Each structure stands twice: as structure tokens, then as C-alpha cells.
Chain A
């Protein structure tokens, strides 16, 4: 065998065996309910969580709503029928009592998060990120709670918030994404098990990044979490979300809701690095990711900024949106979505301009490789009263290879003549000539792809908090390994 053949063999091996590095399973005892979905399931989840009556009512209403709805078919996705009766809706790591300190958390669980690069030990956490860790259905630990509490910031699991801050939850739950919003929102509202809640009081700048880390561990379980962020007048918070799952042959369902409420002159930055298990090279397994993320800029001059780097999931269906209700409010969406092998993504954003002089920006960078399908779907809607509002949308697609697809579906509904709406779109390819040019300068093919892809996604990566940006860069490169040449 010549060296070249050996090299090719090696590359092939690397490629086919590039492991999804988060694909391990943690052996922990779980408290699970039987699979299947019914009113009984909803009641059981609520009972397991010792919820107040009003919460159960919210769930039951949502469930009734859900029964009247059908799975949406409009996305450019090819999804086999999902049998919701085969899903387990509640699974929690078994714990004897409420966890007060880290010593009481199951060591296996701690090890899991260490392995994922997330330290729940506050002493070790020098970088100053507060973490809420959610495994399967429940939040296992929130760090820095006391430090934040001194400033009046509430950062806790959703279950705790229901107990400790019922007034806030009653006021804001479903305020931006009502259960009737869509099929998956209704499902989530009925069966959601946990998530994170965050409240930043008036005039407070949150001194550290807040983050939620989601992990699906148990087999056959669905993960249905909710995040609710409320930023009161003149406050600021930067929020991070990360997610991974074990490598399994069967598909698993993730249907989450994120709601953000931003008051006058407040700002919320929400960043996601989504790395759910994407399935193997042949498209077996992987997470079905159906997420409803929406924020409302309620007050004047408020701002929401979504940044997402999406590399995981077999199927992604998500459109982080902004309702720009306040005058002079600002909505931003920066996205990099990578699909490789047999992954499918239908993602984009909605910007609804209601307030005067509201501004929005959409920067979407799709990268498709292998046999994957990558679609941008976006809506810019300008209502009558949204005088002088502006939108700028830019949707770029980068193709690696010729068996993948990139699509753009921009929708415009402009009901105001003083509005300025701009849309630009480009499609480009990484050519063999570009790779060879890099090779000739001593740069390996994989690194060349990394350079080109990171260059292409730079505008979005720059929006991520430093630590996350480095992680995301590596992730982009790993996700695309072996896709050219």
C-alpha cells in the first residue's frame, strides 16, 4: 500500500470514527414513570413534583389544547411519524432528599458534568459562570445562587420557582409562548418537567454569565424543559445554553420552550451552542429537536439578542423570535447552523415590529455537508404602527460537497410604508481549489475547512461570549470533519 493510500485509509477511519465526544451514558438510578401520554401522565408529572393546583390546571388546559392540534408539516423536513406513546415523559436521577450542598449530589452525576466540561463546584469555577444543570427531566444543581441572591437576582430551577416565586411564574408563564401557540409548545406546556428561571431586578446588571446546561441521559425519554427569563427595567443579563445527549440508535425527542420578557431599556443576550447527538453517519439515531424560543421587548428601548450555533440533532426545528413591542426596541438574531451526514435543519427567526422605530437584524449562516438539508426560514413582519422601523436580513449558505441541500424561505409582511426592509442572500461552496491552495501552504485539509468555515461564520461567532466562542469554533470543525476531499 502506498503512503497515499494509507493516508486515505487513515482519514477515512478518522472520519467514520470521529466520535461524538459526549455520547457516553451515565449509570445512575432513575425515578421514571411508565411511557405513554395521557391526562394521567400529566397528573402524574405534576404530582411527582408536588405542584400547586394552579400549575396542574395550566398543564391540563395545555393538554386539552394539544389534543386538538396536529404536528406541523410545513417545514422542509422529512421526519418519520413520531409515536408519542413510546416516549417516557418523566425521568429523574433518584435522590433521597433535597440537595443543599454539592456533597449531597450523586457523585456519578457530578462526574457526568465534569466530563462534559461543566463544573458544578463553585470553588473551582473561576470563570464566573453560574450554572443550572438539567439532566433528563430535572434540574440537579444551580450554582452561585447565594451570590446572585444578594443582588436580588433570582436564578433557580423552574420547579423551585413554582414553589418559591409563584407570583412571578403565574404572571409570566406562557406570556410570550402560550400553550396554544403550536403543537410542540402545547405538548411542552402539558408535560414539561423542569428548566431554569431567571429574574433580574430593576437597574441590575447581572455580574456573571448565567447558563443552563441540558443533558438527556436515560433511554427513551423525551426532554421537555422551559426557560423563563424576565429582565426588569434597565437591567442586563447574558444567558448561555448548552446541550448534549448520549449516542443511541433510537431517536429521542426534545421539545423545549424559552420565553424572554424584557422591560424598558433592559437587555437580554441569549446564546446557545446546541450539540445534541446528531445521529451516526448513516442517519441512525439522534435527537429530534423542536424548540419554541421567543422574546418580547415590552418596554421602550429594550433589546433581545439571540445567538445560536447549531451543530447537533438529527432534526432541528426552531425559530428564535422577537416581538418588538416597545418603541425603539431592538431584536437581533445571529445564527450558524451546521448540518452534516443525514442531519436536517429548518431554522431561522421571526421579527415582529410593533413599536415605532424598532430595529431588527438577522444574520444566518447555514453550512451543509454530506447528505444533509439545511433551510433558513424567516419572517419579518412590520405592523401598521411600527413607523420608521428597519430590518436587515442576510442569509448565507455554504455548501460542502454536492449531495447536500441549502434552502432559504424568507417571508415579508410589511404594513407600513415608512419601514425599510432589506434582504440579502448568497450561496457559496468550498472548492477543491481552495483546499489545494491551503494544502500547498502546508495546511491540512481538515484545518483548511476549519479556517474557511470559521471565517465564514466569524460574524456570528464574534457575538458569543469569549469562552463559548472558542468551544463553538472547535465544534464547527469537528462537526464537519471528513466532509470534503
Chain B
């Protein structure tokens, strides 16, 4: 589904990604871990199409198409979702309006008619129940004044609404209390099918207790330096990153 080959990228002339290779197939869950500043958010932003990063070499294909040639909104409509590490507040824009515009843009991309207001509201209700998000939150402006945890839950709610093929969740677990962590993880698991895939970026094993990854990758200094099964996360939790860093410094 997603194939990243020899990806190099820089920002303001500073190289952050230095040859990332990653392949993801439908039905898989991948975890990406790695020390602060390794380039994890950079990688997810580039997948989503944030323009401040310059891709200097390599390619990303998604379902056989060159992802780097698509505008961010086209990638979204093609099925790429990114859960933001720091979700953005948009004062004045109601969640309902925001989601309705987003859902209808996705439908338009697929050649479908916009949803009728009643159908849309029903969809909202169903998805709210699925990810156990407080109804009051969706009556407010997008993320405005939401607590850190509420913002993260709202990301999962949006993911549920848009049903992406590939979801890249950037530290969706940070800032969540124990109950919220379980709720968010359950939401992700409920949305999982054999046709979609998830990349979870996290620092902590505890999320991976709930969302069990098929692969765990370590990103360090702009490269994926280690890939293994779910046991790698446990090992990292136990030993930290020093033993990996040592091999590369």
C-alpha cells in the first residue's frame, strides 16, 4: 500500500531524513519509535504533504501512485490520514461544519453526492459512540480550548469519520490519561480492517499493549536503523536507545 524508498528530506537546508525505507501492506500495524528529534514527525508530515519540507531524493508510492505529486488535500482524499502530534485550533469553525466539509470533499473525490444533513448527523452520532468522544466537544469550534487529551481523542474521532486507508498517528497517546489511552486505542482497533493500515508513532510500550503492532521500527538520525516484531518495543522500554545509538555514533 505504502512504499517509501530512500527518502531524503530537509528543512531550511538542514537534512532531517537521510534515506528512509519502509513498506506497509494492507491489514498491517507498524509502530515507529525513536528518540526525540529523530525525524518521526518529519516523516509523517512528508507523507501528509506539508510543504515546508523539501524532498531531495527518494520516492513515496501509495497504491501505486506517486504520492509526492499530490496536494495535501488530494492525499487526504486518496485515503491518507494523519493524527497530529499537536492538533491545531481553528476558532470560529464548528466541528460540524469542518467535518461536513471534509466528509463531502472525500465523497466528491470518489464521485459521490454530498451527504444529506440528516445522514451526516447520524454518521457523526455513530462515530462519536464508536470512539466514545464527549458529545459536547463536537458542538464546539475545532480543537478550540480542548484539553491536550481531548484534542487527541478528537483526532481519532476524525479518523473514524474519514475511514482512511492509511492512518499515521503521531504520538496520539501522549497526554492521555489511562482511561483515555484505552478508549483511543480501542477506537483505533475498532477501525482496523484487513484493507487498511496504521502507523503509530509512540514513545511508550503501554500503547502497544492495546494496539499490537506487526512491526516495530526504530528511527534514528533520519534512518530506520532497526526493524523487528512487537518484542522490540519491550526491549526498548527496558533498555532505552543507548545500545542502538552506540552502533551508529
Contacts and interface: CB of A to CB of B under 8 A. Distances in A.
Nearest to B79: A442
Interface stretch (A262-270, A373-381, A449-457): A449-457
B82 interface: yes
A438 B99 CA distance: 10
Given A444-B105, A451-B98, A439 B92 contact: no
B90 A455 contact: yes
A434 interface: yes
Contacts of A452: 90, 92-93
A485 to B, nearest CB: 9
Contacts of A3: 69-70
Contacts of A443: 73, 98, 101-102, 105
A13 interface: no
B102 A442 contact: yes
A442 B164 CA distance: 11
A438 B97 CA distance: 12
B109 A437 contact: no
B18 interface: no
A449 to B, nearest CB: 11
Contacts of A445: 73
A265 B105 CA distance: 48
A101 interface: no
Interface residues of B, number: 34
B71 A439 contact: yes
B199 to A, nearest CB: 15
A440 B82 contact: yes
Interface string B88-107: 11111110011101100110
B72 A436 contact: yes
Interface band, chain A: 20 to 34
Interface in A1-37: 2-4, 7
B94 A437 contact: no
Nearest to B90: A434
B48 interface: yes
B21 interface: no
Nearest to B72: A439
A282 interface: no
A438 B90 CA distance: 9
B87 A440 contact: no
Contacts, number: 82
A433 B101 contact: no
Contact of A455 (B49, B88, B93): B93
Nearest to A431: B88
A427 to B, nearest CB: 13
B71 A4 contact: yes
A458 interface: yes
A440 B142 CA distance: 14
B93 A437 contact: no
A455 B162 contact: no
Given A4-B71, A436-B72, A437-B87, A442 B97 contact: no
- A interface, by DSSP: helix, strand, loop or mixed? helix
A437 B170 CA distance: 14
Contacts of A439: 49, 71-73, 76
B241 interface: no
B4 to A, nearest CB: 18
Contacts of B172: none
A442 B162 contact: yes
Contact of B76 (A2, A428, A441, A458): A441
A51 interface: no
A438 B76 CA distance: 10
Contacts of B42: none
Nearest to B82: A440
Contacts of A444: 73, 105
B233 interface: no
A338 B42 CA distance: 36
Nearest to A457: B92
Contact of A440 (B72, B90, B93, B94): B72
A447 interface: yes
A203 to B, nearest CB: 39
B141 interface: yes
Interface in A116-149: none
B140 to A, nearest CB: 12
A442 B77 contact: yes
A436 B46 CA distance: 12
Contacts of B49: 439-440
B94 A455 contact: yes
Contacts of A7: 71
A419 to B, nearest CB: 31
A428 B99 CA distance: 23
B158 to A, nearest CB: 7
Contacts of B82: 440
A445 B101 CA distance: 12
Contacts of A434: 88-90
B93 A451 contact: yes
Given A7-B71, A438-B73, A442-B76, 8 more contacts: A437-B84, A440-B76, A441-B105, A442-B73, A444-B73, A447-B101, A455-B94, A456-B92
9 contacts: A2-B69, A428-B91, A433-B88, A436-B50, A437-B142, A445-B73, A447-B105, A451-B93, A455-B94
Interface of A: 2-4, 7, 428, 431, 433-434, 436-445, 447, 451-452, 455-456, 458
9 smallest CB-CB distances across A and B, nearest first, come from: A455-B92, A439-B72, A441-B102, A442-B76, A455-B93, A442-B105, A437-B88, A3-B69, A456-B92
